[in-house]
Amino acid sequence: MGGEEEGGDAASPAEGPATGVEDRRAVLLRRITEEGGFAYVSSVEKAASGDLRAAEAAREMAWEQLHSGPWHEVVDTWRDAYAMACLHVAELRACAGERGEALRALDMGIIMGGPLLRGDLDAIVGKIMSDQSEAGGSIGTGSDCAERWKEGISKNRDLAEVLQILPSKSLSCKTIVKRSSISLEAFICDYFLHDSPVIISGCIEHWPARTKWKDIEYLKRIAGDRTVPVEVGKNYLCTEWKQELITFSLFLEKICSTNCAANLTYLAQHRLFDQIRELRNDIMIPDYCFAGGGELQSLNAWFGPIGTVTPLHHDPHHNLFAQVVGRKYVRLYPASTSEDLYPHTESMLSNTSQVDLDNIDVKEFSKAENLDFMDCVLEEGEMLYIPPKWWHYVKSLSTSFSVSFWWSAPSIPSKGR
């Protein structure tokens, strides 16, 4: 995994290595001064001598900088500045016994902040979490929620029921090949080099996640008080769709109480395992992700109730998509069909199709209607290999927790079949 998590030394060579937390903070304050952030620096200096209001003010100033333009244009210095202000807020809140507020500030620093102070944020999270477990753990789940949770992950709808909630023509064309625990060599020769999708079963039985993530009390205990980003709404193309930051406990309750598509809460494409180390320990990186001698780019969590939809889109990386809890329907179209899938024209959405598979407008998108695709119900314990640029649409058929492993590999001419 990338060094960005370690909060290591990001000082420029001229500044020399900044090894301790005080050094890192001093280097950063110098850079912020160079950026003209005098008011921020003055607030942080007051925060360092115990002034919580000044710490909050510094955090607010850095937050404004993060939102002053497109995210990719925000300079690392201000992302690091945001993390530093979060650290001050968290330290002062923790001293005042406000554990929940302190954890929230730390998670905000982890999610939105830069890499320089990442190790420092993680260290304080670790300390607060271990103090809590010594003091006696978290609040239990109400029996209603526990019942609904069990039903959500265990109820297996039959095919007729499943077909009712899937796009038309689902499971009627070509299904994706399924192989059991194949060797890395077979994966490379038969699928990876041919840009060919495959379902691999029997490879993640030993992951602690397979049992632990079905236990709502376990999830609450290790992550309940942590703040996570979630998506709310039918899917990211809908106008009422929004993103929120909520505690993991509240998110689990929302999974138990979800009953309408417009209100779905989905923890989607989030680097949860960089943020919550205990969850990272429950999974392993499959050897298949080293195919092509490339580099692992990211591990993302996809966790939500029945009915979540990720609209038809493609990604630039190889993807091994592990279905850890529950089942999902996945539909794939080869990269070569791009033109017939009417990608959005604005750059932010150019990897997403305008075609709504749940309700195809055949007049406007006539070429999409009769395109060949491959699909499957990805069952618990299976992994699906999605080659780069292949279009995919995903719908959950139960409460579902999946992990995607994205990796890049030097481009190797694909061998068509």
Ligand X SMILES: O=C(O)CCC(=O)C(=O)O
Decide whether 4 or 315 has the Cβ nearer to ligand X.
315
Q: Which stretch binds ligand X (CB under 6 A): 4-12, 40-48, 128-136, 315-323?
A: 315-323
Work out how close the CB of 95 gets to ligand X at its nearest, in angstroms, rounded to a whole number.
Answer: 41
**Binding string, 333-372, against ligand X, x = CB under 6 A?**
----------------------------------------
Q: Which stretch binds ligand X (CB under 6 A): 6-14, 142-150, 283-291, 313-321?
A: 313-321
Decide whether 25 or 392 has the Cβ nearer to ligand X.
392
Q: Is 379 in the site for ligand X (CB under 6 A)?
A: no
Q: Is 249 in the site for ligand X (CB under 6 A)?
A: no
Decide whether 141 or 399 has the Cβ nearer to ligand X.
399
Decide whether 251 or 321 has the Cβ nearer to ligand X.
321
Residues 6+ apart with CB under 8 A from 229: 111, 243, 244, 245, 267, 270
Burial classification of residue 349, based on how many CB atoms lie within 10 Å of its CB (0-12 exposed, 13-18 middle, 19 or more buried)? middle
Work out how close the CB of 319 gets to ligand X at its nearest, in angstroms, rounded to a whole number.
Answer: 5
Work out how close the CB of 310 gets to ligand X at its nearest, in angstroms, rounded to a whole number.
Answer: 3
**Count of residues near ligand X by CB under 6 A:** 10
Question: Among residues 321, 329, 333, 401, which is the contact residue for ligand X, using CB under 6 A?
Answer: 321
**Residue length, the chain?**
417
* Alpha helix positions (H), 113-215: 118-135, 143-154, 159-164, 184-190, 209-212
Q: Which stretch binds ligand X (CB under 6 A): 2-10, 46-54, 308-316, 333-341?
A: 308-316
Q: Is 323 in the site for ligand X (CB under 6 A)?
A: no
Decide whether 114 or 326 has the Cβ nearer to ligand X.
326
Phi and psi based region of residue 406 (left: phi greater than 0; alpha: psi -120 to 50; beta: remaining):
beta
Q: Is 399 in the site for ligand X (CB under 6 A)?
A: no
Question: Among residues 227, 247, 249, 319, which is the contact residue for ligand X, using CB under 6 A?
Answer: 319
| Distances, alpha carbon 31 to alpha carbons 11, 278, 328, in Å | 10, 34, 47
What is the spatial distance between Cα 154 and Cα 261, in angstroms, rounded to a whole number?
Answer: 20
Q: Which of 312, 315, 298, 326 is nearest to 404 (CA)?
A: 298
Phi and psi based region of residue 261 (left: phi greater than 0; alpha: psi -120 to 50; beta: remaining):
alpha
Site for ligand X in 2-41 (CB under 6 A): none
Question: Among residues 62, 92, 383, 394, which is the contact residue for ligand X, using CB under 6 A?
Answer: 394
Q: Please identify which residue in the block is written with the tokens 């607030």.
A: 43
What is the spatial distance between Cα 363 and Cα 367, in angstroms, rounded to a whole number?
Answer: 9
Q: Is 402 in the site for ligand X (CB under 6 A)?
A: yes
**Strand 318-325, strand 400-408: pairing:** antiparallel
What is the spatial distance between Cα 378 and Cα 18, in angstroms, rounded to a whole number?
Answer: 47
Number of neighbouring beta carbons within 10 Å of residue 43: 24
**Binding string, 200-219, against ligand X, x = CB under 6 A?**
--------------------
Q: Is 327 in the site for ligand X (CB under 6 A)?
A: no
Q: Which stretch binds ligand X (CB under 6 A): 62-70, 161-169, 286-294, 307-315?
A: 307-315
Q: Which two tokens stand for residue 117?
A: 């102070």
Q: Strand, helix or coil at 298?
A: strand
Q: Is 315 in the site for ligand X (CB under 6 A)?
A: yes
What is the spatial distance between Cα 356 and Cα 372, in angstroms, rounded to a whole number?
Answer: 16
Site for ligand X in 219-238 (CB under 6 A): none
CA gyration radius, the chain:
23
The residue ranges that bind ligand X (CB under 6 A) are 302, 308, 310, 315, 319, 321, 392, 394, 402, 404
